[in-house]
A and B are shown apart, each in its own frame.
Chain A
Amino acid sequence: MQVSRHWRLKSERYKLVGETCDSCGVKLFPPRDVCLACEAPAKELYTFTGFGEIYSYTTIYDPPAGFEHNAPYTVALIKLEEGPLVTAQLTDMDDEEVRIGMPVEMVTRKLRSEGEEGMIVYGYKFRPAVPVQELSAA
């Protein structure tokens, strides 16, 4: 049971907490402590807005063990509005809706479950924003 492996990443998984570079302002996700742009230390925590757009995507029909329950599912590269790409599943949408450049927002969902008795791993996925209806006063 790999409890600590997931537990230690909870801020990233639940809230998209990454890092920002003091020197040049570049935002990093996943956090890696060193700026990818200027190589200065980048340890200041930064919580991403969770908004971005689809850079690329694939629907997985042959899933790895542990992911059969959800297959087929779509994994995407999301370009966050702050710059970095992040790998995550898309949810709450049908395959035919997905397109490169589509705006998406972060939600927290079940990533996988360690069997019937193991822990449930929660984390970020992305989906199109809930469409806002015209308000009609009742």
Chain B
Amino acid sequence: MSDVSIIGIGKTDVGEHWNTSVRHLSWYAIEAALDDAATTDVDALYVGNMLAGRLSQQDHLGALVADFAGLRGVEAVTVEAADASGGAAMRQAVLAVKSGLVRTAMVVGVEKVTDETGSAVIAELATGLDADYELIHGLTAAGAAALLMRRYMHDYGVQLDDFAAFSVNAHGNGADNPEAMFRNRLAAERFATAPVVAEPVSLFDMAPLADGAAAVIVTDAERAMDMAPKPVQVVASTLATDTIALHDRREVLWLAAAAQSAEKAMSMAGIAPHDVDVFELHDAYTILAALSLEACGFAPRGQGWHLARDGEIGRQGSIPISTFGGLKARGNPLGATGVYQIVEVAQQLRGEAGACQVPGAQIGMAQNLGMAGGTAVTHILRADFSGNLEFSGK
């Protein structure tokens, strides 16, 4: 059993890649990661993807991408967990390396949503819901978030405007990220007139679906020390599940899988919430940002939105989130999102986040959710440049 470190990262711009197919997107991210790691020696490939089979009529991505990325012959497989596919693929790579059966593993998260348009994309995304008991009633991903948001507002006396600070923060950070889909700043005053998608969720509450790919190369920590100038150690990797359907949950406003995976991850890493310097959470909707902060122990129930209101989620705040724009501004390339989060946290810990840098970030957490938290994958990373596996403390 060995510890696992990240030795290479890569990503494409997030947006509308009209000229680029799912295989090319994957290759661009993989190429960047291979360059970053200065190696071509990869033993296994884990592809995180949600909808290629539906939107591009392309399943069997493991073999397709391995071949196209010059990795013909390597072990390769697709990992699917709705929009937590990327995080879940990362988890598989960590497990593989940790087991000792795979020495170096490549993770690529990829999504190509613009091959379809309009209501077809909404319908395919909604396949991550419970088909027989949610989708047949016309529920959408945004609708599920809206059900949570409405009840949250009711139970905790929260106003629509109170969620604006999450998106304002995300767009503020996205403006500094050259790879972000949206680089415009948002004014909180405009929330009241934003087009409504699934009341009360408006366009300003939800992340845009986008094309993109991100890649990460992991290997055992000892080897990583020889290979990379700034290896980033994966100190915790956990995945938990909850019911897909909100109606099956014991507590609708509690993201049980997010809580379970975060708690286990922090315990594995030997840290507490206040030790986290950067938190890339799954802000596909503003309500999920609030609920994630609560589930992961950063805020009491019903008060996740206080952190946004009080400026604590900014780069200078106590718990910086969405530091590259998050899903909201960087964009939400579904099955790639979880890998983008890992890449971004690694950039922060390597001190290579450019204008998005959180000063002195040592410990970063990424949490990738499938839909409304049916799957939650949590990774905790830490800077590991000393050659010493003991953490020096914060």
Interface residues, chain A, CB within 8 Å of chain B?
5-6, 9, 30, 36, 55-68, 70, 73, 75-77, 84-89, 100, 111-112, 121, 123
Known A-B contacts A9-B132, A77-B247; the reply to A60 vs B119 at CB < 8 A is no
Count chain B residues whose beta carbon lies closer than 8 angstroms to a beta carbon of A: 37
Question: Residue-by-residue, is B115-154 near A (CB-CB < 8 Å gives 1, otherwise 0)?
Answer: 0001110110010001011111111101100111011001
Residues in chain A near residue B140, CB distance under 8 A: 60, 62-64
Supposing A89-B138, A123-B136 touch, asked if A56 and B150 sit within 8 A by C-beta, the answer is: yes
B198 / chain A contacts, CB cutoff of 8 Å: 58-62
Sample of 20 A–B contacts (CB below 8 Å):
A5-B132, A9-B132, A55-B252, A57-B150, A60-B138, A60-B140, A60-B143, A60-B198, A61-B199, A65-B119, A65-B122, A75-B138, A75-B147, A77-B247, A85-B248, A86-B247, A100-B150, A100-B151, A100-B154, A111-B138
Report the separation of the CA atoms of residues A29 and B73 in the bound assembly, to the nearest whole angstrom.
Answer: 47
Q: Is the CB of B146 within 8 A of A58?
A: yes
- Closest CB pairs A-B (n = 8): A58-B146, A64-B123, A85-B247, A56-B151, A65-B123, A65-B119, A59-B199, A67-B138
B247 touches A63 (CB 8 A): no
Per-residue A-contact encoding for B185-214, CB less than 8 Å = 1, 0 else: 000000000011111110000000000000
The reply on B308 being an interface residue by CB < 8 A is no
* Contact count A vs B, C-beta below 8 Å: 109
The prevalent SS among residues of B at the interface is helix
Residues of B within 8 A of A55 (CB): 151, 252
Interface positions of B (Cβ within 8 A of A): 118-120, 122-123, 126, 130, 132-140, 142-143, 146-148, 150-151, 154, 195-201, 245-248, 250, 252
Of chain A, the residue at the smallest CB distance from B146 is A58
Q: B195: nearest residue on chain A (CB-CB)?
A: A61
Q: Which residue of A lies closest to B148 (CB)?
A: A56
CB pair B150–A58 under 8 Å, yes or no, is yes
Contacts of A6 in B (CB 8 A): 136
Report chain A residues within 8 Å CB of B136: 6, 111-112, 121, 123
